[in-house]
Amino acid sequence: MTTLTEATGTSAARETPARRRRRVDRLPYLLLLPCLAVIAVLLLWPLGQVVMMSFYKLDSVRQLRGDREWPWVGLANYAQILGDPFFRTVLRNTVLFAVANVALTMILGTLVGLLLNRLGRKMATFVASCVMLAWATPALTGTIVWKWIFDDTSGLVTWLFNKLPDGLSTTLFGRSDWTGYGWFNDPLLFFAILTLVVVWHSFPFIAVSVLAGLKSVPSELQEAARVDGAGPWRVFWSVTFPMLRPVFGILVVLSTIWDFKVFTQQFVLAGGTQDRPTFMLSIYSYAEAFSPPPKYGLGSAIAVILTLILLVVTGVYVRMVLRQEDES
């Protein structure tokens, strides 16, 4: 790296400012190349393969090995998926789940971020460490623990509900004995628990990012607003939020991407790919492609559809954010 800077420096000394700028402008792209090469090998190449596979009828591993022909079927895989009424259920599940989770994650994350900003140093460190622990827990292990918490016979939640006074429990829920209650039986309840797990996993990142943003906002602005008689609600929406708009923009985009492709938590909570009424796009794609008998073409087509939806959603949102920035 040192030789590189030296080389640029010595040649730059002899050049006019305009030429020098052009020279320097090329450097960032060169530095990006290694990264691009890795992305190309690990991401772009497989992505291209998935798109290609979605146009073929692939239902045998022998085809993947090249021992058998790949019959071209054009858009037949897409037609089959889009024409299947089950796809509408899956799409509805995915979209509703993502909307609910992005909203809840953002709200909870922002609130915790604001709290961390107000707390004293020691308390803030303590709360931040606790919150980060949730984020540091791997999705797989974290979800297994949640599954135990909701175990139908010896789970913590079952135990807590059993501790409720019988009369109260019966009035509220119509039952007093919760042992053996199927927490994951009803799709709505299943999604509620899944939301809890996913929000628990993802809000710490939002909280810390919002905190970082808040630290960069001069506190004088908020104080001035408060002196002028603005309540906390008004201060947030009129001062803090506009200042942090780019931060929120990127956080919403990231959360949307994460929540659209939730897989691990659902796979563990549902105990595999058996619970079809609660399918979302990513697990649907996986189940079609890899459950026997494999249908790699069909699974690829679902994955492409998921990718397209994500591109559209994030594209629209990024444009919205950019336009707002131009205006302000």
**Chain residues in the site for another protein (CB under 8 A):** 4, 7, 30, 33-34, 37-38, 41, 60-62, 64-65, 152-153, 179-186, 271, 273-276, 287, 290-294
Six-digit token string for 103: 């909203």
Six-digit token string for 74: 């054009």
Query: Which residue do the tokens 């792209």 mark?
Result: 29
Query: Which residue do the tokens 């189940």 mark?
Result: 287
Give whichever of 291 and 324 is closer to another protein, judged by the CB atom.
291
Give whichever of 33 and 133 is closer to another protein, judged by the CB atom.
33
Q: How many CA atoms lie within 13 A of 16 on its CB side?
A: 2
Cβ 283 to another protein shortest distance, Å: 12
Give whichever of 56 and 205 is closer to another protein, judged by the CB atom.
56
Cβ 30 to another protein shortest distance, Å: 6
Give whichever of 27 and 250 is closer to another protein, judged by the CB atom.
27
88 to 65, 66, 116, 200, 282: CA distances (angstroms)? 33, 34, 41, 28, 14
Cβ 46 to another protein shortest distance, Å: 11
Six-digit token string for 202: 């993802």
Query: Which residue do the tokens 């915790």 mark?
Result: 112
Query: Which residue do the tokens 């030789």 mark?
Result: 3
CA angle 76, 78, 84 (to 5 degrees): 100
Residue 189 CB neighbour total at 10 angstroms: 14
Cβ 36 to another protein shortest distance, Å: 9
Cβ 177 to another protein shortest distance, Å: 9
Decide: helix, strand or coil at residue 210: helix
Give whichever of 183 and 191 is closer to another protein, judged by the CB atom.
183
Cβ 156 to another protein shortest distance, Å: 15
Cβ 187 to another protein shortest distance, Å: 9
Give CA–CA dist 95/91, Å, rounded.
6
Give whichever of 52 and 123 is closer to another protein, judged by the CB atom.
52
Nearest CA among 170, 136, 146 for reference residue 269: 146
Sequence-separated contacts (24+) of 232-236 with Cβ below 8 Å: 236/114
Give whichever of 183 and 203 is closer to another protein, judged by the CB atom.
183
Decide: helix, strand or coil at residue 56: strand
Give whichever of 61 and 250 is closer to another protein, judged by the CB atom.
61
- Give, for 108, the enclosing helix (H) or strand (E): helix 85-118
241 to 90, 114, 210, 316: CA distances (angstroms)? 34, 11, 10, 20
Give CA–CA dist 181/151, Å, rounded.
9
Give whichever of 237 and 290 is closer to another protein, judged by the CB atom.
290
Cβ 272 to another protein shortest distance, Å: 9
Cβ 38 to another protein shortest distance, Å: 8
